[in-house]
Amino acid sequence: MDNTFKALVINESTTGFTKEIKEKNLSELTKNDLLIKVSYSSINFKDALSASGNKGVTRKFPHIPGIDAVGTVAESNSKKFPIGSKVLVTGFDLGMNTWGGFGEYISIPEKWAVHLPAGLTEKEAMSYGTAGLTAGLSVCQILQSSTVNSENGKIVVSGATGGVGSIAVSILAKIGFDVLAVSGKKENEYLINSLGAKEVINRNDFIEMYDSKPLAKPTFVAGIDTVGGAILSGMLKSTQYGGIVTCCGMTGSTEVNTSIFPFILRGVHLAGIDSVEASLSVRNLIWGKLSNEWKLSNLEDIITEIGLEELPDKLDEILTGKAKGRYVLKH
C-alpha cells in the first residue's frame, strides 16, 4: 500500500485561507480503529464553511474537509469491520476537526461507520450522503405524525434545488405526496420534471405571502425547511392543525420570527433534525429505507460527479448558493 495520498488541504495564513491539492502521508492521519480507502465523497454546506476557514466548524488548520465518505477498509482493529469491508461514514467529527473525505484515506473510530447497504453502490451512497440522511430523517419525522398523509394536503419543501431539499422533494414525490417546492433559483422544469414537485414558488414570493401575518390560511399538512429565517416562519404560520414542520438548515438565517399562535391554536409541531450525532440504529433505519422503498430512480438527475481538481470551485458555488443538486467527488 502506498503511504501517500492526495487530498484537498485548507491552510491558514496571515492573509486568509487557501485551498490546495496536496500529497499527504498516511502517518499524518490520527491512528484509529479503521483506515479507509475512500472511493467517493460529496459536498455539503458544512464542507464549504470548513473550506472557507469558518472556526465554528473547524478549529485547527491545515485541514482536510469532507463530512461524507464511502470506501473500503484498508486496515482494521475492529471485528465488526474486517479488512475489505465496504463502509459508509457521515457526520460525527469527520471533516470537521478530523481529516475527512476530501482525502483518499480517512482514519476513524469504528463507531462512526456503518456497513454499506446491499441495495446501494458506493456512488449511490454518496449521491445521498449527509444530505440524503438528513432528508430521510426529516421525512421519517413527518411520517410519524398521525395527521400527515398524502390525502390530507401538500407538503412544502424549502431550498428545493439544494442537497437536502432536492432529495426530500424526490422522496416525498416517490411515496405519493404532492410537494410545493420553494426555491430562489429559476429551475421550475428541473424541480417538476426531474424531482417530481407538483408546484414551484419563488422564495421571495413565499416570504412576502406570509411575512406580515401572525397566522395564515392552513395550506400545508407538513413542511421541510432547510434554510431557516422567514421561510421557516412562513411554513409554521401556514401549516394545518396538528401538522409538523422540520428544520435542518440555516443557509438563509439562524433566526426565526413567529408568534406562538401556530403552536397554541393549531397544535403545530416544530421538529429539529440533526444527522451529525444520530444513533447508529437510526442511521441504519434511514439507510435501509434509502436503499429500498425510498430508493430514488432519479439520482443521476440530482448529482454531478466531479474530480479533486474541480472541488475548490464547487465549494465556492455551494457557499454562495449557486449549486444545484448534489456534487459527488470521485477519488
Nearest-angstrom CA–CA distance, 274 and 231: 19
> What tens digit of pLDDT does each residue of 26-73 get?
999 999 999 999 999 999 989 999 999 999 899 999 999 999 999 999
DSSP category for residue 116 = P
Burial of 70 (0-12, 13-18, 19+ CB in 10 A): buried
Cell output for 324: 444545484
What torsion do the CA atoms of 36, 87, 273, 156 make, to the nearest 10 degrees? 120
Nearest-angstrom CA–CA distance, 263 and 269: 7
Q: What's the pLDDT band for 252 if we cut at 50, 70, 90?
A: confident
Side-chain-side CA neighbours of 181 within 13 Å: the count stands at 32
> What tens digit of pLDDT does each residue of 264-304 get?
999 999 999 999 989 989 999 999 999 999 999 888 888 89
CATH number of 4-116+298-330: 3.90.180.10
Burial of 217 (0-12, 13-18, 19+ CB in 10 A): exposed
Q: Which pLDDT score is estimated for 1?
A: 66
> What tens digit of pLDDT does each residue of 70-86 get?
999 999 999 999 999 99
The region of weakest confidence among 63-67, 107-111, 186-190 is 186-190
Percent of the chain topping pLDDT 90: 76
* pLDDT score of 115 more than 90: yes
Q: Which pLDDT score is estimated for 325?
A: 75
Q: Which residues contact 155 (CB under 8 A, 6 or more apart)?
A: 142, 148, 172, 177, 178, 179, 180, 220, 221, 222, 223, 224
Nearest-angstrom CA–CA distance, 89 and 69: 5
Domain boundaries, the chain: 4-116+298-330, 131-272
Assigned CATH topology for domain 131-272? Rossmann fold (3.40.50)
pTM attached to this predicted model: 0.91
Pairing of strands 179-183, 154-157: parallel
Q: Which pLDDT score is estimated for 217?
A: 92
* pLDDT score of 180 more than 80: yes
Nearest-angstrom CA–CA distance, 142 and 149: 9
Coil vs helix vs strand at 273: coil
Q: Which residues contact 297 (CB under 8 A, 6 or more apart)?
A: none
What single string gives the DSSP state of each residue in 181-225?
A: EEESSS-HHIIIIIS--SEEEEHHHHHHHHTT-SS----EEEEEE
Other CB atoms within a 10 A radius of the CB of residue 327 amount to 25
Q: What's the pLDDT band for 148 if we cut at 50, 70, 90?
A: confident
Q: Where is 286: in which H helix or E strand?
A: helix 280-290
Nearest-angstrom CA–CA distance, 211 and 216: 10
